[in-house]
Structure 1
Amino acid sequence: MTGATTTAVPQRPWYLRPWVTVPVPALLATLDALLANDLSSGTQMATSLLAAAALLLRKRWPLLVLLATLPGMELSQIWLAPMFAVYSVAVRHRNRWAIGFGGLLVALTQFIPWPVTDFALGWDRTTALAALYALLAAAAPIALGMLVTTRRELAVRLDELTRGQERERRLLAQSVLSTERARLAREMHDVVSHQVSLISIQAGALQVRANDPEASKETARTIRGLAVKTLEELRQMVGVLRAASGDAQQLTPQPTLADLPRLVAESGLACDLDGHDVEVDVPEPVERAAYRTVQEALTNVRKHAPGSTVTVRLNRASGALQVTVSNTAGSPDATPLLLPSGGHGLIGLHERAQQLGGTLTTTPHPDGGFTVDASFPLSTASAEPSGTSA
């Protein structure tokens, strides 16, 4: 899995960069002042040019700039500077009251002429048109500013949503990878641990029988067979790892409950097996889980309690397959197998049981014995995910 990629921040178009958006409105307002006013009128030119110059600061202090443009709108015929200013208020402020107050000021300034004493409110066509123009002068830039603000917010939300989805995909990929690693670790442990413990037992027997050539040959033949079997199972696992889409059918043949008598016979333990014929109508994932449970339990007995007596019981009850493996305390004369153990075997058994909706409990006995008790629901036809059933 590759690391997290850095999302490139798209650059703004040239016409939205500060070196364009700051001076251009001021230049347009200056042109508006030169075209709309009497060049010989000092008052009109001063107020209108002041309004145009104030636009250079509209992004920092939009409300103050708006107030600075109103005298020019009232005393002369300019439109652009106040409209740019109220647009900036709509873009920069989230307070709707401030936006509405700025629009009201622009509308009143446009509607009421100078001097105010000449203003006469009449209910005629001229007054209606003046009111309409005033409302348009205020409402149009406000609407455009709020539209731009909404668009920016939507862009931010879309970016956040995209980043969130990317994080979810990465977390899902990490979860799948973690699950796959746990599965492979569990399968590797199940395949190798049991076989290696058998090889260790046979190697110990070979050491004891070194003076008996025939017994040594038989033991060496057994060790060779176990080693070949271990390598074959490992080769199957490597084949699944190399496949583009590994599935459960590639790890064949899969162990079932019918293989339990052979497993018990090859364990080298004094083991009593009862109920292995319950495999009728038992789902394949349950059979494999039950087999691996018995296999791991026998491996642990060989490691930690050699010379003990083992009892394996399988029973169908209450719609579930019950698997119980109990052993007595090990013989004091027997030498435990000095094999490394990380405690992952029982963890793997718990994971198998949980995948099938079952349970697994382990109980140490005061006399030194140990019991592994697992329960697998039979209603699970194929509870294991594809590729996890080796």
Structure 2
Amino acid sequence: MTESGVGAPPRRRAGPLWWGRPRGAVLDVALGAASAVECALEGVPFARESGIPVELGLLLGAVAGGSLVLRRRFPVAVVLVAIAVLPAQMGVLLATVGLYTLAATDVPRRIIALLAGLQVVGGFVVMYVRMQPGGVEDVGGPRWFPLLVASLLAVVTVLPPVLLGLYVGARRRLVDALRERADGLERELSLLAERAEERAEWARNEERTRIAREMHDVVAHRVSLMVVHAAALQAVALKDPAKASRNAALVGDMGRQALSELRAMLGVLRAHEEDGARAAGERPLERVAASAAAAAAAAERDTERPEDGDGPRLCELEQLVGQSRAAGMAVELSVEGEVRAYAAAVERTAFRVVQEALTNVHKHAGGARTRVRLAHRGAEVAVLVENAAPADGVADAGLPSGGNGLLGMKERVTALGGGFVSGPTPAGGFRVSAVIPDRS
């Protein structure tokens, strides 16, 4: 593992000039020096046979052999130099290493074949001439024997380095391709991990928003009613003990209901914390899969868990309205159309809209007459909560408001593809209306 990423290949220190690594430069310089010494020594007999100064032969041999240093940069030029010095019987190391390097590079195959063929032909001609009667290496025998020996020597000195270079080049290209593929897969895996994390984060935010809406509904409605009843209890405690006792019992019941629903919400939060703790101890690759699974699970919980029957249903509207009536609100409930069951999400959303609207009436229009209308239609359910203008002299209940009630109702309805409208009425009251399509 490196700083650049998990599983990334180690960075290689760049060598001088065109060499990728320092040890490559050291190897080529050593080979060039050895080839220069070899060619210089072989240049002495060539100079004597050719009648040129020995010093010139040494210099030509050293320059020709030293060109091997350029084998990685100019492999074609090195092989051409080796072919050029063939008549002088020098450059065995130069030709062997040059052909190997040429075959291992990305030079087109036709160029490799052409230069290798020139090397074979040149070697064959030189050896055949030297094996002729009266030559330097007269082998005697039948006339076809020197031809056979020269051919074999020319092929044997050229074919092995070329084949080895082709194999090494193919293997190097394969390794590079596999490394690139591994890097590509690693990048794809990293992108998948990022997307999974983003999706999981989005799902967690959605879940937090949903839980916040649930807690707002539970706390705002129940506590609002508890405050109203507590105020009534305070007003009638001395005048009407029986009514005060009933109000106290209602406050207790609502408090217990609020605590039960809050415990359910806290249980969901605790389950999320346990999931996060388990994910924190996983290895990176496992965490990628866990993130994707968590995202899918969280998204599924966001759309299914509340609607699996745990939330309130439309059949509980009468009880909800009854609680508001018990708190002194004049509420009228009317149901239109054929009563039937809807998807749990639809019924739960419609119930919460009515609940939040009644809570707002308790907060801002205490004592105002309120009408709750529930309409069952063919492919949708509609709810309407409208209150009249508050009576003169009736003060605001003084309950705190975070301004999220109407926003939460709109989010709930639009998430199911419905429409939501709210605003003041011409008569000075307030109206909340929602139409939710059936998803059953």
Q: What TM-score comes out, normalization by structure 1 length?
A: 0.73
* Residue in 1 that maps onto 2:396: 336
Shift of 1:156: 2.8
Change (3 A) 1:13 1:204: closer
Structure 2: how far apart are the matches of 1:310 and 1:298? Answer: 8
Partner of 1:196: 223
Once the two structures are TM-superposed, the CA of residue 13 in structure 1 deviates from its matched residue by: 11
Query: Which piece of structure 1 moves more, 176-185 or 228-237?
Result: 228-237
CA distance in 2, matches of 1:298, 1:341: 14
Match status 1:220 vs 2:220: no
Question: SS at the partner of 1:153?
Answer: helix
Q: Which residue of 2 aligns with 1:175?
A: 202
- 1:238 is displaced (CA, Å) by 2.0
AA aligned to 1:229 is Q
Give the corresponding residue for 1:321.
381
Provide the secondary structure at the position in 1 that maps to 2:42: coil
- Residue 84 of structure 1 contacts residue 141 of structure 1 at CA under 8 Å; is this kept in 2? no
Give SS of 1:368's match.
Answer: coil
In structure 2, the CA distance between the partners of 1:345 and 1:29, relative to structure 1 (3 Å rule), is: farther
Given the alignment, which residue of 246, 259, 262 partners 1:231? 259
Identity of aligned residues (%): 29
| Distance of 1:361 and 1:21 partners within structure 2 | 76
How far, CA to CA, are the matches of 1:161 and 1:38 in structure 2? 56
CA distance in 2, matches of 1:84, 1:30: 17
Conserved 8 A contact 1:260-1:276: no
Counterpart of 1:112? 118
Amino acid of the structure 2 residue aligned with 1:66? P
AA aligned opposite 1:73: A
Counterpart position of 2:70: 54
- Do the aligned partners of residues 348 and 30 (structure 1) sit closer, same or farther apart at CA in structure 2, a change above 3 Å counting? farther
- Are residue 301 (structure 1) and residue 361 (structure 2) matched? yes
Distance 1:6 1:280, change over 3 A: farther
What TM-score, normalized by structure 2, do the two folds share?
0.65
- The offset of 1:82, in angstroms, is 5.3
Structure 1 residues 81 and 279: alpha-carbon distance in aligned structure 2, compared to 1, 3 A threshold: farther
Q: Residue in 2 aligned with 1:69?
A: 78
Distance change >3 Å, CA 184–CA 249, structure 1 → 2: closer
Matching residue's letter, 2:357:
A
Secondary structure at the aligned position of 1:223 is classed as helix
Partner of residue 187, structure 2: 160
Contact 1:322/1:376, CA 8 A, preserved across alignment: yes
Post-superposition Cα deviations, 1:46-88, rounded to whole Å, max 9, x if no partner, equal 323331x335xx4xxx3xx436534543233423245436745
- Asked if the contact 1:87–1:144 (Cα under 8 Å) also holds between the matched residues in 2, the reply is no
- 2:21 is matched with which residue? 18
Shift of 1:193: 0.9
Matches within 5 A, 1:228-377: 228-243=256-271, 248=305, 254-267=311-324, 268=327, 269-275=329-335, 278-377=338-437
Gaps of 5+ in 2: 15-19, 44-57, 86-90, 127-146, 276-300
Task: Describe the shift of the 1:140–1:11 C-alpha distance in structure 2 as closer, same or farther (beyond 3 A).
Answer: closer
CA separation in 2, counterparts of 1:197 and 1:278?
A: 32
Q: CA deviation at 1:144?
A: 5.0
Alpha-carbon shift at residue 356 of structure 1 (Å)? 3.0
Deviation at 1:161, TM superposition (A): 0.9
> CA 1:115/1:248 → structure 2, altered by over 3 Å: closer, same or farther?
closer
Aligned partner of residue 385 in structure 2, secondary structure: strand
Contact 2:331 2:369 in 1 (8 A): yes
Question: With CA pairs under 8 Å and 6+ residues apart, which has the higher RCO, 1 or 2?
Answer: 1
Q: C-alpha displacement at 1:336, in angstroms?
A: 1.7
C-alpha RMSD of the superposition: 4.2
Q: Give the equivalent residue in structure 2 for 1:40.
A: 42
- Deviation, 1:263, is 0.8
Residues 166 and 253 (structure 1 numbering): CA distance in 2 closer, same or farther, change over 3 Å?
A: closer
Q: Cα offset for 1:273? A: 0.6
| Cα distance per residue 1:319-357 (max 9 Å; x no partner) | 111112222222232222323323322232233223433
2: CA distance between counterparts of 1:11 and 1:138?
Answer: 25
Length, aligned pairs only: 349
Q: Which amino acid aligns with 1:169?
A: A
Structure 1: runs of 5+ lacking an equivalent: 91-98, 382-390
Alpha-carbon spacing, 1:342–1:249, altered in 2? closer, same or farther (3 Å): closer
> Residues 22 and 327 from structure 1, CA distance in 2 versus in 1: closer, same or farther, beyond 3 angstroms?
farther
CA distance in 1, matches of 2:4, 2:428: 57
**1:345-383 per-position Cα deviation (integer Å, ceiling 9, x unaligned):** 2232233223433232224324332222222222x23xx
Larger radius of gyration: 2
SS across alignment from 1:112: helix
